[in-house]
Structure 1
Amino acid sequence: MCGISGLFDTLGTRDFDRALAARINNIQAHRGPDEDDLHFEPGLALGHRRLSVIDLATGQQPLFNEDGSVGIVFNGEIYNFEELVPELQAMGHIFKTRSDTEVIVHAWEAWGPECVHRLRGMFAFALWDRNQQTLFLARDRMGVKPMHYAWLADGTFIFGSELKVITAHPGFARDIDPLAVEDYFSFGYVPDPRCIYRNAHKLPSAHTLTLRRGDAAQAQPVPYWDVHFSNDNPINQADAEAELRDRVRESVKLRLKADVPLGAFLSGGVDSSAVVATMAGLSTTPVHTCAIGFDDPRFNESAFAQQVADRYQTDHRLEVVKSDDFDLIDTLAWLYDEPYADSSAIPTYRVCQMARKHVTVALSGDGGDESLGGYRRYRMHLGEESVRSRLPHGLRSPLFGSLGHLYPKADWAPRMFRAKTTFQAIAMDSVQAYHHSMSHLRADQRQRLFSPAFNKSLGGYNSITVFRGHAERANTDDPLALIQYLDYKTWLVGDINTKVDRASMAHSLEVREPLMDHQLIEWLATLPSSLKINAGEGKYVFKKAFEPLLPNDILYRSKMGFSVPLASWLRGPLAERMRESVLSPRMLDSGYFNEATLRTLIDQHLSRQFDHSTALWMLIMFDAFLRQAQAPIQAAPPVAAAATVPA
């Protein structure tokens, strides 16, 4: 796991400033504290920050082939590299290291751009082929590892693991993209391929980008893989359970190779518990497990994590975090580079901080909910879809649209009585309804939040465009498969993977996700949706498969999630900062917001008339982003001490 950076002259072969290349590379030193190096040649600069995990002695980068004509900077892990080595050696390729990085170099020589099809793992890399004067970028299938890039006005192409590599270049104009602002206040993050800045981009998951000197201006990302939901596997349930256990076991086993201490996150939820149970079955020594607890029992799952730790006799470490642990706002703004509003980034940062004290690599359970139908919103969407399928749109839209308009917003009421959103969703088509449920602020709320001038600047753009584009490529009529596909392309990449990558790499910790293995996901996409959600039970076949390995109160308890008490924070210890932040001169002078709406959100939340904690947190994090964006680039994040409860 590492940080990569580079500069490429798309027009000629001018030399790049060494001090500048070193500075933009070192701004992400947290991703790779063990070693760093740079490579220069006419028209090219490659930078690498290394976190040593495999082949500690000889895995330095940038790494080149035997004659020095092909080189690479690489972030990630190739889990099947040991299988590829003998195949490449039989073709005449000579290896000088034991690292997975060198496999990619020789795979390029053997198979060219098609080499990505042979790689199983998480990766983002840039490969230089001097003979072809070609720079080749690639990102893994599930978007676990990041890749940002931009073209500068002078013809320079710049790339890096984090957006701060690009914004640190003096030639990059930090002009905010209004469409990205609309996306952020819908999703809580800026979805690929857009960045918050107009001239920067994220390489989408499962895409490559090929630049040839003299012809780079026309380069566009090209997809090389996609998940296809056939849902037509004739397997019976018992066999599906057995095969699922075997496939998870194989995926976990692949991810246990490391030359440094390795462990796992253990939240006490289904997915992390299944990963730990599987690891324990593969290990002859106790598994290192790490958990975060909260001093607020409403958010504390540590007792369930302890159950699993006791059952498998893991070497378990627990730290309890204070419920007022909100001092990370500026740190998170620095780490994420863009506005990012998932408040679970706070406990994720803390569990990574704690885990790094004991291990360098940690396995997680991320990806299980998306692949196996684990979210409550999936079950709600299917319920709404059953109503939509029974009523023609011409009747459904005016009837339920009127009910949604008339029914009061009832944040204070029990969930079963909060029907406004459900009525609104039933009036919509499937994609629009899922976008409605996934939007932190819905279209009418965003319109009121934004100033008239900013609304006009959007030119009619709405963030649903993101969902519409992906839905056109989903190629499925199955209602669950469609929204799983949408989550793979948006939520999983833009929220979950971004959160874990930045939080873990802030502490130089590598996180591996066995439930995001692409071969496992391909197989799961063949299973009927009835094996994923059955009689209202999400992750049905997964839970059945792991009944022999985990207790029922782990498998079948209500999902708690990794959340924080936002509403009470913003009415209590964060109330003053909230007001100062949301109504700061930066926010009011930006031209994005309607000041009256900002004041209404604050007043209604503080008076407990409505719970506006989601909107207010998004605004706080946007202000924190603006503060960072307007300041000189820092080489290290603001220091945030661990807010743990004394033993």
Structure 2
Amino acid sequence: MCGITGIVDTLGAREIDAGQLERMNNAQWHRGPDEGSIHLEPGVGFGHRRLSIIDIATGQQPLFNEDGSVVVVFNGEIYNYQSLIPELQALGHVFHTKSDTEVIVHAWESWGEDCLQRFRGMFAFALWDRNRQTLFLARDRMGVKPLHYALLDDGRLVFGSELKTLLAQGDLRRDLDPQAIEEYFALGYVAEPRTIFKQARKLPAGHCLLIRRGQPVPTPKPYWDVRFTLEQSITLPEAEEELVRRLRESVRLRMIAEVPLGAFLSGGVDSSSVVALMAGESDTPVNTCSIGFDEPAYNESAFAQLVADRYRTNHRLEVVGSDDFDLIDTLARLYDEPYNDSSAIPTYRVCQLARKHVTVALSGDGGDETFGGYRRYRLHLMEEKARAALPLGLRRAVFGPLGRWYPKADWAPRFLRAKTTFEAQARDSVEAYFHTMSQVREPLRSQLFTPAFKAELGGYSAIEVFRRHAGKADTDDALALIQYIDMKTYLVDDINTKVDRAAMAHSLEVREPLMDHELVEWMARLPSSLKLQGAEGKYLLKKAMEPHLPNDVLYRPKQGFAVPLARWFRGPLRQRVRDALLGERMAATGWFERKTIQSIIEQHESGARDHSVPIWSLLMFDAFMRHAAPQQ
């Protein structure tokens, strides 16, 4: 795991400022504290920070081909590199290292852009081919590793693993993108390809960008997508056997390392499955770590201990206080743009714990999206059955007004809380799922923004992110559609972003066996009934893992990495919320209605409504403004 950065003149061969490049590289020191190097040639500057994992002795970067005409900087792991080396040697390539990085330069020489089809792993890399005068940027299929870039006003292109590297260069315009702000308050993150800054972009997952010097910079193009065909006919026992075989292979590939290796163990199905299969592939006890909370409602460490005891792992548990809110400013600096997933706090802590004992940790991330595990999937399918009973036009006419007129009654018995049901029936499938995933929902989001800010938006709504991906999903299956949307949005921009920044803050490499693209493709061919059956999510995974895990782990209610936001904002953070959200910094933007913010705070403090998510979103936006945004 590493950090990459660079400056390339897309128009000619102007000299690259070595001082700028060094600043960019040092801005991501935390991603690779073991070594740091830069490469300069006319019009090209590459920087690399290294966290040594594979081929520690000779795998330094930037790395070159035999004659030095191709250079690469690379972040991630190519898990199948050992099988590609002899194939490339047979084509005449001479290897000078035993690293997966060198596979990239030789694969590019032999297969060009198609080299991406041969790589199995998590990666973001930049490659310069001097003979072809070509820059090639690429990001892995599932978006595990990040890559940001910007075309500057003078024709230079800058790139880096994190936005802070682009900011360190100094010439990036820092004006904020109103549409990115709308996406943040709707979704809790800025959805790729946007960043919070107008001039900067994220290279989308499964995309590459090929730039030929002297030619206009094109838009990135996709080289992979997942297709939910659901066409594979297979019995349940056959599917269970095949799934375990594929999981074992995926785990085995991710256990290749020359440094201490372990796993996160939350006590949930996904991480427990990974640990169980790791134990079967290891001659020594697996290193596992868990975070526990001093508040029982948020603590699932007992279930992690069940798995640790069964497989006799070297288990480390660290209990953290439920009032662990001192990380707010740290998180704002880590993420470089507004990001509101509060589970980033325990994720930061578990990465901090893991790094005390290992350099590489396997995780269970991606399991909910791949296997169909979220509770919201079941609820969405229930709503879809109801929506199917009437045409959309009639539903909008009948249920739309009912949803608007019926009062919000969080205080009332559940059978009287009909507002949400009416609203859900007035929406189409994509609208409904967007509403489910929204952090600050309509109409509150509209009430939060000033007329001036809405004018800047020009009618844009973050639902367009979901509609764009839904248009490419190529499926009419209700579960498959929202799995696809999640894989393109929530998984990449929330989960993977959270884990990458939290792990790299501690120079820890995290690997995700459940996001192996071959496993994801295979699961997408299976019928949805094997993923969600009745009220049971992850049906196939749970059945397949029954011989390997206790039923108490497999079939308990899903818990998640939650923190007690509602209590914080009525207690220890009450004054901080008021000072930040009603202070001069937020007011000076001209974007937020002070009366709406005041109402949100008062309703929450009184207990009339739970506005913890909107308050957290505003609090993290204020933290971003203090640490990363330009002065308004």
Query: What's the TM-score, normalizing by structure 2?
Result: 0.99
Structure 2 distance, partners of 1:421, 1:513, is 36
**Is contact 1:183-1:189 (8 Å) kept?**
yes
Match of 1:624 in 2: 623
Q: Measure the CA separation in 2 of the matches of 1:56 and 1:236.
A: 45
DSSP-derived class of the 2:136 partner = strand
Alignment of 1:456-467 (within 5 A): 456-467=455-466
CA distance in 2, matches of 1:629, 1:84: 42
Distance across 1 between alignment mates of 2:365 and 2:303: 18
Q: 1:235: Cα distance to partner?
A: 0.4
In the other structure, the counterpart of 1:159 is: 159
Segments of structure 2 that go 5 or more residues without pairing to the other structure are: none
Secondary structure of the structure 2 residue equivalent to 1:303: helix
SS at match of 2:561: coil
One-letter amino acid matched to 2:301: S
Tell me, what secondary structure is at the counterpart of 1:128? strand
Farther off after superposition, 399-408 or 284-293? 399-408
**Aligned counterparts of 2:170 and 2:625: Cα–Cα separation in 1:** 18
- Equivalent position amino acid for 1:265 in 2: F
2:80 — aligned with what? 80
Q: Count how many residue pairs are aligned between Structure 1 and Structure 2.
A: 631
Query: What is the aligned partner in structure 2 of residue 276 from structure 1?
Result: 275
Q: Secondary structure at the match of 1:443?
A: coil
1:105-504 pair list within 5 angstroms: 105-215=105-215, 217-412=216-411, 418-504=417-503
Q: Deviations over 1:529-587 (max 9, x none)?
A: 01111011100011000001111110010001101000001111111111111112110
Amino acid in structure 1 at the alignment position of 2:118: R
Contact 1:425 1:437 in 2 (8 A): no
Give the letter for the 1:595 counterpart: R
Q: Which moved more, 1:407-416 or 1:52-61?
A: 407-416
- 1:474 and 1:274 map into 2 onto residues whose CA distance is 29
TM-score, scaled relative to structure 1:
0.96
Does the 8 Å contact 1:81/1:103 carry over to 2? Answer: yes
What is the match of residue 96 of structure 1? 96
- Structure 1 partner of 2:601: 602
For residues 225 and 9 of structure 2, the distance between their equivalents in structure 1, rounded to whole angstroms, comes to 31
Distance in 1, matches of 2:414 and 2:617, equals: 23
Mapped partners of 1:527, 1:411: distance in 2: 39
Say whether the 8 Å CA contact 2:20–2:168 is kept in structure 1.
no
Taking the aligned partners of 2:209 and 2:176, their CA distance within structure 1 comes to 24
1:445: Cα distance to partner? Answer: 1.3
Question: What is the CA–CA distance in structure 2 between the aligned matches of 1:630 and 1:525, rounded to whole Å?
Answer: 40
Instruction: From the superposition, tell whether residues 187 and 417 of structure 1 become closer, same or farther in structure 2 (CA, over 3 Å).
Output: farther
Supply the AA of the counterpart residue of 2:393: G
Distance of 1:336 and 1:536 partners within structure 2: 36
Structure 1 counterpart of 2:197, which letter? Y
Q: Matched residues, percent identical?
A: 67
Tell me how far apart the structure 2 counterparts of residues 258 and 388 of structure 1 sit (CA, whole Å). Answer: 50
The amino acid that maps onto 2:451 is P
Query: What is the CA deviation profile of residues 348-391 of structure 1, one whole-angstrom value per residue up to 9, with x for unaligned ones?
Result: 00000000000000000000101111001100100000011111
What amino acid maps onto 2:356 in structure 1?
A: K
Q: Is residue 333–residue 628 contact of structure 2 (8 Å, CA) maintained in 1? A: no
**Following the alignment from structure 1 to structure 2, what is the Cα–Cα distance between the partners of residues 470 and 151?**
25
**What is the deviation of 1:436?**
1.0
Worse-superposed segment, 98-107 or 438-447: 438-447
Supply the AA of the counterpart residue of 2:167.
T
Distance in 1 (CA, whole Å) between partners of 2:168 and 2:585 is: 21
Following superposition, the deviation at residue 198 of structure 1 comes to: 0.5
In structure 2, the CA distance between the partners of 1:62 and 1:411, relative to structure 1 (3 Å rule), is: farther
Q: Deviations over 1:429-480 (max 9, x none)?
A: 1111111111111231111000111112111101111111111110001000
> Could you give the per-residue CA deviations for residues 284-338 of structure 1, whole angstroms, max 9, x where no partner exists?
1100000000000000000000000000000000000001000001110000000
Q: Tell which deviates more after alignment, 454-463 or 422-431.
A: 422-431
CA distance in 2, matches of 1:415, 1:259: 55
Write the distance in 1 (CA, Å) between the matches of 2:214 and 2:322. Answer: 56
Counterpart AA for 2:600: L
- Structure 1 unaligned runs (5+)? 633-647
Give 2:582's aligned amino acid: L
1:259 counterpart letter in structure 2: E
Residue 631 of structure 1: how far off its partner (Å)? 6.7
For the Cα contact (< 8 Å) 2:139–2:145, is it kept in 1? Answer: yes
Superposed structure 1 runs of 4+ greater than 4 Å apart: 412-418
Q: How many angstroms apart in 1 are the aligned matches of 2:417 and 2:62?
A: 55
Q: CA–CA distance in 2 between the matches of 1:3 and 1:89?
A: 28
- Distance (Å, rounded) in 1 between the aligned partners of 2:413 and 2:138: 47
Name the CA distance, whole Å, in 1 between partners of 2:280 and 2:222: 37
In structure 1, C-alpha distance between the alignment counterparts of 2:20 and 2:420, rounded to whole Å: 51
**Shift in Å at residue 423 of structure 1?**
2.2
What is the rounded CA distance, in whole Å, between the counterparts of 1:138 and 1:418 in structure 2? 48
Match of 1:582, as an amino acid? L
**For the residues of structure 2 that align with 1:592 and 1:625, how far apart are their CA atoms?**
15
Cα distance in 2 between the residues matched to 1:414 and 1:69: 70
Question: Helix, strand or coil for the counterpart of 1:201?
Answer: strand
* CA distance in structure 1 between the partners assigned to 2:24 and 2:134 by the alignment: 22
For residues 418 and 579 of structure 1, what CA distance do their matches in structure 2 show?
A: 30
Per-residue deviation, residues 488-518 of structure 1 (Å, max 9, x unmatched): 1000000000000000000000000000000
CA-to-partner distance for each residue in 1:176-201, whole Å, 9 max, x for gaps? 00000000000000010000001100
CA drift of 1:422 comes to 3.0
| Residue 417 of structure 1, CA deviation | 5.8
CA contact (8 A) 2:175 2:630 kept: no
Matched AA of 1:148: H
Q: Structure 1 316/237 Cα, relative in aligned 2: closer, same or farther at 3 Å?
A: same
CA offset at residue 394 of structure 1? 2.5
Q: Deviations over 1:581-613 (max 9, x none)?
A: 111211001011001001111111111111100
Conserved in 2, the CA contact under 8 Å of 1:127 and 1:136? yes
Distance of 1:250 and 1:68 partners within structure 2: 35
Give the residue type in structure 1 aligned to 2:441. Answer: R
2:514 maps to amino acid: L
> Cα distance, 1:415 vs. partner?
6.4
> Which residue number corresponds to residue 640 of structure 1?
none
Give, as a single letter, the amino acid of the residue that structure 2 aligns with 1:403: L
1:638 counterpart residue number: none
Paired with 2:610 and 2:475, the residues of 1 have a C-alpha distance of: 37
3-state secondary structure, aligned to 1:52: coil
Structural mapping, 1:631-646, within 5 Å: none
Give the match for residue 639 of structure 1: none
Aligned mates of 1:147, 1:212 — CA distance in 2: 19
| Contact 1:253–1:279, Cα closer than 8 Å, also in 2 | yes
**C-alpha displacement at 1:222, in angstroms?**
0.6
Compare 513-522 and 594-603 and name the one that shifted more.
594-603
